[in-house]
Amino acid sequence: MHKIILKKQLSADVYMLKVYAPLIAEERSPGQFIILQLDSDFGERIPLTIADADTEQGTITLIFQVVGKTTTRLAALNEGDAIANLVGPLGKPTHIEKFGHVVCVGGGIGVAPLHPIVQGMKKAGNRLTVIMGARNKELLILEDEMRALADELILCTDDGSYGRKGLVTAPLKELCEQTPPPDLAVAIGPPIMMKFCAETTRPYHVHTVVSLNTIMVDGTGMCGGCRVTVGDETKFVCVDGPEFDGHLVDFDNMMQRLKSYKTQEQEAPHPCKLNQQIENMNR
Amino acid sequence: MSAHDTPQQIQHDAAEGLEQILHRKEPLKPKERMAIPMQKMPTQDPQIRRDNMQEVAMGYFPEQAKLESMRCLQCKTAPCVKGCPVGIDIPGFLAAAAEGDFQRSIGIIKQSSLLPQVCGRVCPQETQCQEHCTVGKSLKDVNQAVSIGRVERYVADWEREHGVQAPSVKAPTGKRVAVVGSGPASITVAADVRREGHEVTMFEAFHKPGGVLLYGIPEFRLPKAIVQKEVESLQAMGVEIKTNFVIGRTRKLLDLMKKDGYDAIFIGTGAGLPKFMNIEGENLVGVFSANEYLTRSNLMRAYDRERADTPIFKSKKVAVLGGGNVAMDSARTAVRLGADEVHLVYRRTEVEMPARVEEVAHAKEEGVIFHILENAKRIQGNEYGLVTGMECVRYELGEPDASGRRRPVEIPNSEFMIEVDTVIVAIGNESNPLIRQTTPGLDVNKWGNITVNDDGKTSLPGVFAGGDIVLGAATVILAMGEGRRAAASINQMLSTN
Ligand SMILES: Cc1cc2nc3c(=O)[nH]c(=O)nc-3n(C[C@H](O)[C@H](O)[C@H](O)COP(=O)(O)OP(=O)(O)OC[C@H]3O[C@@H](n4cnc5c(N)ncnc54)[C@H](O)[C@@H]3O)c2cc1C
Ligand SMILES: Cc1cc2nc3c(=O)[nH]c(=O)nc-3n(C[C@H](O)[C@H](O)[C@H](O)COP(=O)(O)OP(=O)(O)OC[C@H]3O[C@@H](n4cnc5c(N)ncnc54)[C@H](O)[C@@H]3O)c2cc1C
Ligand code: SF4
Ligand code: SF4
Ligand code: FES
């Protein structure tokens, strides 16, 4: 059992939890995730990125958006409650070294998984430009944390309620047009955003790392449910990833696979924010 | 397809048969033993079981267990024993069962096997013990051999119903052993090592222990309550079980020794990496590995659509690729989840199917449509990426290959389409690379299986391995046998230093 030490609401449907998990806190690296399950018999196993960890407290930080059944139940838990099953850290850690100028792009909830990567890249001595996007001001998360790490922070909202009005791809393109262009781009967010970020950097040959959020079951390479097409190969996100070369990922196939259970989950009697999520993806 | 024999009818026939024999004074002559009809397994009616997850084979009635045991000729050379990977004294336990002394019978089995309730149900008996049985040979039909596995299951179930005492454990030695994985190989090692008084911790990646017995083999073939009992009996012996613990991730293998102070490690992580065919359309929506499909249904209980949070694909027409137990389990699970049509596509013929004969028969009774000498070539999808069909090609049998099986060869221009919305790939598993990638110095062969010597020792000192991670996808009884061997050498090592 993993006790919830701290709970905070970051925006309308985004929550932050600090959970007691000392072994995972000790072993985790940026880019890795956990899988949790709220009930051993009938609960679903869902992956969430380790947004931060505190080895002294023995806690890990999870930041999640309420999109369906399990995230709704998770959001209803309070400090002092416990999560029945938590396994990790899973996935390959982010490849971190001194690249030079790194642009990190986070969209919506994708800012959460981006955070530990930005921390790592900073530590390795990179110059960091962070671009964060959300539909509106209320939905922007971790602004202060990112401001503290970034050499330059660019905020975008779809409706112009804060920062620049428009999509994250606009400032990304401007950065690519500079000479020299950035040495590396990291983009994490809705698949459609990652796809367009990759398309933006492609003509400039800026290597672009994306972190994929496929459907998962075990997270250890056993089921193949998380598979994606990368280049000509099939890869398992949980063990070969979650990060891949964005210029090689078949995002269209991935987006279709994410909707595998769409109708089935819509039929289920729970407050599903699916439509909103699809809207997000397709904006 | 023969009409379904009701359990009542089967029991009635057995009771009558037994009655006649019990009236006799002299012992049965071999001819008379051979004349006793082979006892059929009572099963749920196929029409009914298509809609439930309960066990299909209901187990012998006591009269049947005795009668079937009387069919054994008590051969001096006991050829059957050579066919059992763990060398159970088969004539011995059958003789006890024939007398109705089920307690003694199970005692004999347990000297060699730790999981008779499981093996009695899932061993491919017709290619192991029963293949060599003299009765089957004389009747020129391996399926007429003494039903060793069914009697084994009967006496093991009998023991469970009458209460099993947890095996006694010797005084603490202060030595600690880490067991990685919780499948049959690991369960065996944990029990055998704990018995000697060593402390044992079992680490399992999933949230529940049991390995393939839990997440792979469905309830209708192996009730989960049985696996649960085996795990509880380990706990009663004092084995500590840590679930949600991935060795190589939560802790590196060798840190178990360096940081956590374990004196020995056993790796029993199984063969959990699904193979795909690398054909066009394999990543479309509606294509699943058997592992994923079965795990969703078994471990995550997605078959219970009312209560389970984990979804499983609702299919109308399903194609399953493969001919082993995993393929049969997938096809029969799809039937139970409500598919209208389930097709099983296999490259060779039924003779070559690695699945247990009983499972093939059950699948047919449940309406699975068999396509033999056919193979998938391409999976077709629509603009939403959903599977709409599968292109197949016909095969014929050519020259025998190295394994002696006639090699299937493609018939040119024999392609045709079948309309399906789901494809389940059940063509085998390879070894999971997680531990070998995170453990420098651990030797593996070209298939990624951990290499061990005759004592189950790996290339790293104090580290042992067994089961599917060593053998490649194999069987429960082989995994158990390997576990026994590794446990013996772990106990040996710990007693000498
Ligand atoms: C490696 C990895 C890291 C992730 N990290 C985070 C994170 O830090 N914070 C966070 O909020 N989310 C993260 N996700 C996504 C998160 O796992 C899903 O949002 C969650 O599984 C939804 O569960 P649910 O039961 O609430 O929704 P469900 O009821 O299962 O689904 C609701 C809707 O979400 C879709 N969906 C299901 N699974 C996913 C998925 N994996 N990704 C996107 N959509 C999905 C479904 O198709 C459905 O339309 C991550 C995913 C992966 C694979
Ligand atoms: C669907 C199906 C049907 C089958 N039917 C039959 C049958 O009828 N008869 C028969 O004899 N055999 C059958 N088999 C094969 C049989 O189940 C296996 O040979 C046997 O279970 C292997 O046992 P094992 O102990 O080696 O590993 P497994 O049972 O595979 O258990 C390995 C365990 O290790 C865990 N693990 C893996 N990696 C790690 C890690 N890094 N850290 C912690 N834990 C880890 C896994 O989660 C798993 O629980 C079937 C297999 C399947 C998949
Ligand atoms: S364990 Fe399997 S092979 Fe051995 S006797 Fe029993 S059924 Fe036969
Ligand atoms: S070979 Fe058959 S008949 Fe002979 S001892 Fe074994 S089980 Fe009995
Ligand atoms: S989640 Fe099962 S293989 Fe990746």
Task: Tell me: do A129 and A250 sit in the same domain.
Answer: yes
Measured in whole angstroms, how far is the alpha carbon of residue B437 from the centre of its chain? 28
Ligand 1, closest atom to CA A258? 47
Q: CB distance from A223 to chain B under 8 Å?
A: yes
Per the prediction, chain A carries an average pLDDT of 90
- Strand B374-381 to B369-372 pairing: unpaired
CATH number at residue A194: 3.40.50.80
In a domain, A269, yes or no: no
Element (H, E) at A264: helix A262-267
CA–centroid distance, B92 to ligand 1, in Å, is 56
User: Which range is least confidently modeled, A83-92, A259-268, B302-311, B424-433?
Assistant: A259-268
Helix/strand number for chain A, H first, E second: 10, 16
SS3 A153: strand
Q: Which residues fall within 8 angstroms of residue B247, CB to CB, at 6 or more apart?
A: B180, B203, B205, B253, B256, B267, B269, B434, B435
**Residue in chain A nearest B205 by alpha carbon:** A87
Query: Can you tell me the distance from the alpha carbon of A233 to that of B280, in angstroms, rounded to the nearest whole number?
Result: 11
Query: Can you tell me the distance from the alpha carbon of A38 to that of B393, in angstroms, rounded to the nearest whole number?
Result: 45
Taking contacts as CB-CB distances below 8 angstroms, the residues of chain A near B313 are: 260-261, 264
Task: Tell me: do A164 and A189 sit in the same domain.
Answer: yes
Q: What is the pLDDT of residue A263?
A: 61
In a domain, A278, yes or no: no
Taking contacts as CB-CB distances below 8 angstroms, the residues of chain B near A253 are: 283-284, 385
Q: What is the pLDDT of residue A269?
A: 40
Q: CB distance from A37 to chain B under 8 Å?
A: yes
Does the beta-carbon distance from B291 to A223 stay under 8 Å? yes
Residue A12's pLDDT band, with cuts at 50, 70 and 90, is confident
Report whether residue B134 contacts ligand 4, using a CB cutoff of 6 Å: yes
Ligand 1, closest atom to CA A278? 49
CA–centroid distance, B143 to ligand 1, in Å, is 50
SS3 B395: strand
Q: What is the pLDDT of residue A274?
A: 38
Give yes or no for a contact between A105 and A187, defined as CB atoms under 8 angstroms apart. yes
Task: Tell me: do A151 and A240 sit in the same domain.
Answer: yes
What residue's CA is closest to ligand 1, atom 6?
A48
Write out the two tokens for A98.
Answer: 């001194």
In a domain, A235, yes or no: yes
* Domain finish residue from A39, A67, A90: A90
Does the beta-carbon distance from A224 to B291 stay under 8 Å? yes
Start-to-end CA distance of chain B, whole Å, equals: 62
Does A165 have pLDDT greater than 80? yes
Q: CB distance from A257 to chain B under 8 Å?
A: yes
CB pairs under 8 A between A and B: 118
Task: Tell me: do A81 and A169 sit in the same domain.
Answer: no
What residue's CA is closest to ligand 2, atom 8?
B122
Task: Tell me: do A45 and A159 sit in the same domain.
Answer: no
CATH number at residue A77: 2.40.30.10
CA–centroid distance, B33 to ligand 2, in Å, is 38
Strand partners, A37: A85
CA–centroid distance, B347 to ligand 1, in Å, is 38
Query: Can you tell me the distance from the alpha carbon of A115 to that of A52, in angstroms, rounded to the nearest whole number?
Result: 8
CATH assignment, B275-428: 3.50.50.60
CA torsion angle B150 B156 B160 B165 (round to 10): 180
Select the residue of A220, A224, A239 nearest B292 (Cβ to Cβ): A224
Does the beta-carbon distance from B249 to A234 stay under 8 Å? no
Is residue B307 exposed (0-12), middle (13-18) or buried (19+ Cβ within 10 Å)?
Answer: exposed
Q: Rounded to a whole number, what is the distance in Å from the CA of B386 to chain A's nearest CA?
A: 8
Q: Rounded to a whole number, what is the distance in Å from the CA of B229 to chain A's nearest CA?
A: 16
Q: Rounded to a whole number, what is the distance in Å from the CA of B259 to chain A's nearest CA?
A: 12
Q: Which residues fall within 8 angstroms of residue B306, CB to CB, at 6 or more apart?
A: none
**Residue B322, amino acid:** G
Does the beta-carbon distance from B385 to A257 stay under 8 Å? yes
Per CATH, the homologous superfamily of domain B176-272+431-496 is: FAD/NAD(P)-binding domain (3.50.50.60)
What residue's CA is closest to ligand 4, atom 8?
B72
Give yes or no for a contact between B19 and B63, defined as CB atoms under 8 angstroms apart. no
**Residue A168, amino acid:** V
Q: Which of B313, B120, B292, B325 is nearest to B217 (CA)?
A: B325
Q: CB distance from B309 to chain A under 8 Å?
A: yes
Ligand 5, closest atom to CA A239? 4
Q: Which residues fall within 8 angstroms of residue B474, CB to CB, at 6 or more apart?
A: B271, B467, B468
Task: Tell me: do A108 and A222 sit in the same domain.
Answer: yes
User: Which range is least confidently modeled, A50-59, A83-92, B21-30?
Assistant: B21-30
Domain containing A237 equals 101-257
Query: Can you tell me the distance from the alpha carbon of A10 to that of A12, in angstroms, rounded to the nearest whole number?
Result: 7
**Residue in chain B nearest A43 by alpha carbon:** B309
User: For an interface test with A, which of B231, B292, B295, B422 has the most A Cβ atoms less than 10 Å from its Cβ?
Assistant: B292
Does the beta-carbon distance from B283 to A27 stay under 8 Å? no
In a domain, A270, yes or no: no
For the segment A9-24, the average pLDDT, to the nearest whole number, is 94
In a domain, A21, yes or no: yes
Runs of H (alpha helix) within B50-132? 62-70, 79-83, 90-98, 102-112, 116-122
Query: Can you tell me the distance from the alpha carbon of A48 to that of B105, in angstroms, rounded to the nearest whole number?
Result: 51
**Residue B474, amino acid:** A
Q: CB distance from A2 to chain B under 8 Å?
A: no
Dihedral sign computed on CA atoms, order A66, A70, A72, A76 = negative
CA–centroid distance, B83 to ligand 3, in Å, is 8
What residue's CA is closest to ligand 3, atom 2?
B123
CA–centroid distance, B98 to ligand 3, in Å, is 18
Residue A2's pLDDT band, with cuts at 50, 70 and 90, is very high
Task: Tell me: do A125 and A196 sit in the same domain.
Answer: yes
Element (H, E) at A246: none
In a domain, A133, yes or no: yes
Is residue B161 exposed (0-12), middle (13-18) or buried (19+ Cβ within 10 Å)?
Answer: exposed
Task: Tell me: do A33 and A69 sit in the same domain.
Answer: yes
Q: How many domains does chain A have?
A: 2
Q: Which residues fall within 8 angstroms of residue B43, CB to CB, at 6 or more apart?
A: B4, B7, B49, B56, B57, B58, B362
Runs of H (alpha helix) within B355-396? 357-365
Residue A281's pLDDT band, with cuts at 50, 70 and 90, is very low
Ligand 3, closest atom to CA B152? 6
Q: Rounded to a whole number, what is the distance in Å from the CA of B138 to chain A's nearest CA?
A: 44
SS3 B318: strand
Q: CB distance from A136 to chain B under 8 Å?
A: no
* Domain finish residue from A71, A90, A109: A90
Q: CB distance from A116 to chain B under 8 Å?
A: no
Q: pLDDT: is B232 or A265 the higher one?
A: B232
Select the residue of A27, A69, A268 nearest B250 (Cβ to Cβ): A27
Q: Phi and psi of B446, rounded to 5°?
A: -70, -15
Task: Tell me: do A82 and A117 sit in the same domain.
Answer: no
Query: Can you tell me the distance from the alpha carbon of B39 to that of B71, in angstroms, rounded to the nearest whole number?
Result: 10
The CA angle A38-A87-B256, to the nearest 5 degrees, is 145
**Residue in chain B nearest A35 by alpha carbon:** B244
CA distances from B328 to B2, B211, B363 (A): 20, 19, 7
Ligand 5, CB within 6 Å, residue ranges = A 216-219, 221-226, 236, 238
Query: Can you tell me the distance from the alpha carbon of B50 to that of A183, in angstroms, rounded to the nearest whole number?
Result: 59
Task: Tell me: do A105 and A177 sit in the same domain.
Answer: yes
In a domain, A266, yes or no: no
Strand partners, B169: none
* Domain finish residue from A67, A90, A113: A90
Task: Tell me: do A105 and A72 sit in the same domain.
Answer: no
The pLDDT averaged over each successive group of 10 residues in chain B (497 residues) is: 82 92 85 92 94 94 96 95 94 96 95 92 94 94 95 96 85 96 96 96 96 96 94 93 96 95 96 91 95 94 89 94 96 95 94 92 96 95 94 92 84 95 94 91 94 95 96 92 95 89
Query: Can you tell me the distance from the alpha carbon of B439 to that of A97, in angstroms, rounded to the nearest whole number?
Result: 23
A187-234: per-residue pLDDT in tens? 999 999 999 999 999 999 999 999 999 999 999 999 999 999 999 899
Q: Phi and psi of B7, rounded to 5°?
A: -55, -40
Q: Which of A218, A220, A198, A216 is nearest to A207 (CA)?
A: A198
Task: Tell me: do A128 and A212 sit in the same domain.
Answer: yes
Does A36 have pLDDT greater than 50? yes
Start-to-end CA distance of chain A, whole Å, equals: 39
Domains B176-272+431-496 and B275-428 share a fold: yes
What residue's CA is closest to ligand 2, atom 38?
B269
Q: What is the pLDDT of residue A114?
A: 95
Q: Phi and psi of B397, rounded to 5°?
A: -85, 130
CATH assignment, B7-162: 1.10.1060.10
In a domain, A135, yes or no: yes
Does A264 have pLDDT greater than 70? no
Q: pLDDT > 90: what percent of chain A? A: 83
Element (H, E) at A214: none
Q: What are the residue ranges spanned by the domains of chain B?
A: 7-162, 176-272+431-496, 275-428
Ligand 2, CB within 6 Å, residue ranges = B 122-124, 180-186, 203-206, 211-212, 216-217, 246-248, 268-270, 272, 294, 325-326, 329, 356, 432, 434-435, 467-469, 474-477, 479
Does the beta-carbon distance from A217 to B300 stay under 8 Å? yes
